[in-house]
Structures are given as C-alpha cells and as structure tokens.
Amino acid sequence: RLPGLQRLCREVRAPRAGAMRVGARPGMLLLLPPGTPFSARAGQQLRPFPGFDGPASARRPEGGVVGQGGAEPLEPAGRGERGSPVSHGVSVCFQEAGSLCLALALLFPVAVGLEFSYHPSEQLGTFLKEVHRQHPSITSLHSVGRSVAGRDLWILVLGRFPTQHTIGIPEFKYIANMHGDETVGRELLLHLIDFLVTNDKSDPVVTRLIDSTRIHIMPSMNPDGFEATTVHDCYYSEGRFNKNGKDLNRNFPDVFNSNNVTIQPETQAVINWIKNETFVLSANLHGGALVASYTFDNGNPATGSLRGYSRSPDDDVFMHLAKTYSSNHASMYKGNECGNKPVFPYGITNGYAWYQLQGGMQDYNYIWGQCFEITLELSCCKYPPASQLQAFWNDNKAALIEYIKQVHLGIKGQVLDRHGQPIPNVIVEAKGREHICPYRTNQHGEYYLLLLPGSYVLNATAPGSGSILKTLIVPNGPENFSALKYDFVFPEVSTIARDASCPTKPLYQDFESISAAVKPTLHFLALMTVLYTVFK
C-alpha cells in the first residue's frame, strides 16, 4: 500500500537443479532484486497484496525475471524428487522501491516451511537447525551420537522447557528411519515438527501438548542406510541396514535370549539416550505394512509363547496404545489395506504373534528403559514415491498427535522423605503388574506408570524402609493432559538408595528354567491326586 512498492504473494522456486525451493505462506516476505529469475507452477494465479497496482505482466503465473515483466517464462522446478532442498515459506517482494523494500523486509521474519519431498541428511539437519533458530523458546536441538559414517543422529526436543527435564512433565519420543529404506516415517516426523512449531499458541491441542509434555523427535536413526538407498523399492533394499550391514532392530540386548550381537554406534547412541532421560512413552516408525505392533516381539513359555502370543504384564495398556493410533489413522484400523500382508483385526498385532524377532528396540525400551514403545508400520510400500507423502501426512497427522497425548495415562508422582527430599531408586509398581526389571524412581524421586482408567493398588518399596500401599482411582488422564498425581512420603529412610538397575541379560530365561523345573513336580502331584481319588 506504499507508493512505488509492488508486492506479490505466491510460491516461488529457483529454476536451477538443486537450488533452494521456496513455498509461500500468507503474510511472509522475500526480497528478490531486479534480474532475479523465478518460476511458478502452471495453473496457479499470482495473488497481489491489497493495494497492489503493478503491471499486468507481473501477474503472469508462468514466472519470469523480477523487474522484466515481458521475459520468457522459466520452466517450473521439479517437485517431489529425492534431493530437493528444504523450502522456506515466504512471499515475493518485487523490488521497485530499493531501500524502502529492504527496510520493510526487515520487519517481516521469514518462516520455515517444508516441501513434501525426501530430504537427504544434510538438508534434514539444515531444516532442524532453522526450526530451532526460529523457535528457540520451545525447541532444543542436539545430536545423541554419530552413525558409522559419521552422520549426526539429530534430536529435536519440543516443550515449554525444552532444554532439560522438568519434574512432573513426562518425556515422550518418536524415532523413525531405523531401517534406512523405510522412509515415510522420516518425512512424517519432519512435518510433525513443522506442524507443532507453527501451531503453538494458535491450536489449543498443540499448545497444551507443548505445555504439558517434553517431546523428543529423532527423524532418522539410520541416516547411512537412507543415503545408501539409491533404488526406491517397495519391498527390500540394502539400505535397510547400517553401513556395517547390521539390522538395528535386531541389535539391542534381548530379554529372552542371548543374541550375542556387536552393538552398533547408532544402537549405543539410542541406549545412552534412553538411560539419560525418563522416557514414559515412545513409538518407532517403520514401513512395509500398515499396522501398530506392540511388545513382546520375542517370548518364551513364561510369557505365553506356546500359544503364539507373548504377553507383557501391561498387555491391556499396549493394546490401548496400538488401537489409539490405528483408530485415529485414516485406514489402519481396517486391518487389511496391504494385500500381501496378514489381516490385522483393528489394525493392531502383538509383535510375537506376527513374527518373532530377537534384539528389538521396543522390548528393550519396555524392560530396561521403563518406557512403553510400540512399532508403527505406516506404509505398504517401504519407499513410496514422494508424490504420495502429502497423502501419508494427511492419513497420519491426527494419529501422531493423539498418540502423544497417551503419555498422560495413569499415575505420576514423587517418592519423598519426611523432609521433602526425593528418594531415587524406589520401586513403585501396581500390584499384579510387577515387571521383571522393577520400575524405579529416577534421580528426582519421580515415577510414571501408564495405566488405563480404573482402581489400582500401588506399592512403593524404599530400601530398608518397607513398603507403602495406596489404592487409587485412575481417571482418563489424556483428556486433561495430565496423569493422576500422587506422592509417597516415607517417614524414615534407613539406608541411602543406590543404583539398582537390572543387568542387560536374558532375564526371562530364569523364569523359563524355573518353569521347566517345576513342571515334573506338578505332573507328579496331579498324578497322585488322580490315583488317590480313584482308589478312595
């Protein structure tokens, strides 16, 4: 509306191969000095700002050169190809007023946008850095380690207190691209980040999530495998493995069998990350099927494997978590969307019931991380065309958000002494749901137990101080973005709590051997009972 200044709002893309591509968002500004080439998609009209009165030639949808309305149109840049750079949502300022246009541009921050295309590792890192630069108050960015080839394993953390754990705020994580050729989850998590940062303070659900949760997002656990996948295949490629040729989802310590694997750098980085945080809930994004799979992935007779199902003590919670995702997905709940896969009722499955695997990440999280993790298979095709990515985002967006909310299921609180000081390493569990590696309080004396609504008896056992039992009625926490809060207070603590973490060995093997030893005795007793009854 200022004299001599012409502004147009539209999508702009540089025509050179591999150049930065720009996706417009209303109200955002980009300076293009005279002589700058630009191109536009066919069929889209240039929309001037109110008050625009520039020449009609500047409104041409085909593009041209800034300041040269009669120039020949340029070819639109290709869309959706592997290697297209991160785009930035901006508008175009067709500069005719020189310094006046520059001064105005300084008043309009350029916002991050994101194309629906596959982003190589360098561009993925650039995008995450730009998100953090533009949203420093609600994001934190760090690398938890490096891949075999030296690529960063980036983590973007979102929350009102993103840089460190806050007492009472549960920790949540998403991990994708563990298999390098399973690519949809990688791009979905980038778009989830974009959605969360751009909707904070405007969307009430997003705002409450960021207020109440610390959300960790690792878009790629296997960047080497992604970069090695040169042929896009729906079923299999060498990019599944890391650079050492190892399957990262068979590379974790196993609770049932000694898998004798060499822990890879990517796996060790995730193990260390899990140990350094108090994760409560997690999901691992894969491809090649459309189903939500839950622990256990491995099993033995102690967990019901003889019946083809390996059941955890929290099987009902895991089923709820899997159904939460599948029912909020556009079609996963149907259970039969991939013609070459089994039918999955409600779009969920117990991992062992589908197929057995050793050294899986979700079992490791549950046993040694005190974190409930499920595996989300999000596409029938492992590496689909980039042109389908927007549809995948539309199918998964609601489910990704609703699943994060489930971190607020159950009960949370602290265990304190009579002076109000936290007591670490106290066992806090619900009766009837004892874990083979007992769940303990962290260094802040905190505990988090994911439980469905209902009545539970909690048992807190402090070292040398006995136990406290408490019956609690658990409401539906996700509705209010908070689990029920209850603090245990021990009047006397006779010994100092020490680290009592479980060894990373096949803990269920002991149960299996005990069970096998008891069976002959039970059979003998049963036989004697029958004989006694007959002779009597």
pLDDT along the chain (536 residues), means of 10: 35 36 42 45 39 36 38 34 42 39 38 83 98 98 98 98 98 98 98 98 98 98 96 88 98 95 98 98 97 97 95 98 98 92 94 97 98 98 96 98 98 96 96 96 97 98 91 97 98 70 87 45 45 48
> Which are the contacts of 97, defined by CB distance < 8 A and separation ≥ 6?
2, 4, 5
pLDDT at res. 483: 98
pLDDT at res. 98: 41
pLDDT at res. 445: 96
User: How far apart, in Å, are the Cα atoms of 21 and each of 9, 81, 132, 232, 323?
Assistant: 15, 12, 20, 23, 38
Q: How far apart are CA 465 and CA 205, in angstroms?
A: 42
The pTM assigned to this predicted structure is 0.79
pLDDT at res. 350: 98
- Residue of 377, 446, 479, 512 marked active site: 377
Q: Is 377 a catalytic residue?
A: yes
Return the closest-CA partner of residue 284 out of 177, 426, 142. 177
Three-class HEC string of 27-74: CCCCEECCCCEEECCCCCCCEECCCCCCCHHHHCCCEEECCECCCCCC
Residue 515: Cβ within 10 Å count: 14
Specify whether the CB–CB gap between 422 and 414 falls below 8 A.
yes
Q: How does pLDDT run across 426-462, given as a tens digit for each residue?
A: 999 999 999 999 999 999 999 999 999 999 999 999 9
Phi, psi dihedrals of residue 23, rounded to the nearest 5°: -110, 125
pLDDT at res. 497: 57
Cite the beta strand spans of 442-503 per DSSP E.
446-449, 454-461, 467-474, 484-485, 488-490
pLDDT at res. 238: 87
